[in-house]
Amino acid sequence: MDTMCIKPQKQFLAIFSLLFSIFIFNTSQVSAADGEKIFKQNCAVCHSLGKNKITGPGLEGVITRVPNEAWLAKWIKNNAAVISSGDAYAKKILAENGGAQMTVFSDFSDEDLNAVIAYIKAPPVAMAATATTSNGPQTTETPEEGVNPLALLIGVIAFLIIIVAVLRGVRHSLKNLQNEKLGLEEEPEVGPWTEFKKWMSTHKRTTAVIVLFILGGLVSSGWYALKDIGVYADPAQNREYNPEQPIAFNHKLHAGTNAINCQYCHSGVERSKTAGIPSVNVCMNCHKGISKGPTTGTTEIAKIYDAAGWDPDKGEYNKPQKPIKWIKVHNLQDFVFFSHQQHVKVGKQDCATCHGDLKEMTTARQVQPLTMSWCIDCHRKTEVPGMQDNPYYESLHKKLAEKYKGQPITVDKMGGIECGKCHY
């Protein structure tokens, strides 16, 4: 009997290591494809890999056109800097493309940069071919490749279960074969559950440990799930909240490239609790004249006209206005008091501290958790700026300066962590 068992065990090991190596192989495939992913996410809206021009030139053979590879890296990372340095080749392509602006990718790491350069130098043959023969950016979109490791793991487990079931069957028939030879009675087939129960009753301690382990896992994941209710973003988990908006409004283009002041649109920040979202009339101040954008053409701006009731052909407002239903990104609970004026005007806090750098974001997204501990942590470590110069704080400052001799006066010291300050 024992000798019979060895062989299937060996096979089993071989199958397992084969599956394992497939798993490893597949994960390395995923990282090798990063250049492709970066390209599709950042470049494919403006560049094809073939000869076709979209907003920017088709990138087929680009490595033979540009001055050298170092130039390519500099250009992709910050084309604006290359242009302003008076680079001759940059002038030439700028003229060839009617002065259209390429996005700046200053947040690319060297790794991203190398991956995307390697990719545009040698894209997969099939993709380059389809991109040359067709004329839309869509054709460069092939379905996501790479295997989801979780799916693979589940597959492996399912496979193992099948193998175990088969081996059990084989063992059972071999045993009966042996019994037949020895003239013993045939053993009835025992269900896996019965056998499992028998195993549990003979291995009580192991069973207890496993049960505790599973229970612990459930309780802790339940606890974390509860803590996450209503928390939409958490930088520690690399999680951000980024809902899709009715119009593809682009902060990077407006506040970054075109350097429009945040307050032009969010006029409430210095004088009220809320920053406010601009009405369609604010958009129309500029968009009466700008009907076409660099990445979305006329489609998105047409939605502004529709909401404003503007007829661009006749150049007049002749239709009813409709509100634009922006989706709120940041959402504090109703029982919390937060004032922009207090933080921006009095507290001199930069928008980016709480909202991230909108000048670099295409769509506004929540990057900070907005939890109570987030507010309080900042109040504990941030000094109240210009307290000594603010007449409003004169007497308070004197009192605090005496009380906390020489220590920095942080927001918590002036009562910034009292419950009533933030809760009605």
Contact between 325 and ligand HEC per CB under 6 A? no
Q: Report the distance separating Cα 343 and Cα 223, nearest Å.
A: 33
Residue the block writes with tokens 């392509």: 93
d(CA 142, CA 361): 25
Q: Judged by CB under 6 A, does residue 384 bind ligand HEC?
A: yes
What is the Cα–Cα distance from 157 to 152, expressed in whole angstroms?
Answer: 9
**Segment interacting with ligand HEC, rule: CB under 6 A, options 23-31, 181-189, 314-322, 326-334:** 326-334
C-alpha R_g of the chain: 32
Q: Which residues from 236-265 bind ligand HEC, rule CB under 6 A?
A: 245, 247-251, 253-255, 258, 260, 262, 264-265
Site track for ligand HEC across 141-180, x = CB under 6 A: ----------------------------------------
Site for ligand HEC in 35-54 (CB under 6 A): 42-43, 45-47
| All residues at 6 or more sequence positions from 342 whose CB lies less than 8 Å from its CB, including other chains | none
In whole angstroms, the minimum distance from the beta carbon of 235 to ligand HEC comes to 12
Nearer to ligand HEC, 155 or 276 (CB): 276
Contact region with ligand HEC (CB under 6 A), list: 71-79, 144-152, 205-213, 215-223 = 71-79
Count residues binding ligand HEC (CB under 6 A). 107
Which parts of 91-110 interact with ligand HEC (CB under 6 A)?
93-94, 97, 100-103, 105
CB of 343 to ligand HEC, least distance (A): 4
Whether residue 49 contacts residue 140, with contact meaning beta carbons closer than 8 Å, is answered with: yes
The residue at minimum Cβ distance from ligand HEC is 293
> What does the alpha-carbon distance between residue 355 and residue 248 come to, in Å, rounded to a whole number?
19
As a whole number of angstroms, the distance between CA 114 and CA 39 comes to 12
Contact present, 1 and 175 (Cβ < 8 Å): yes
- Give the CA diameter of the chain: 105
Residues 290-309, interacting with ligand HEC (CB under 6 A) = 290, 293-296, 300-301, 304
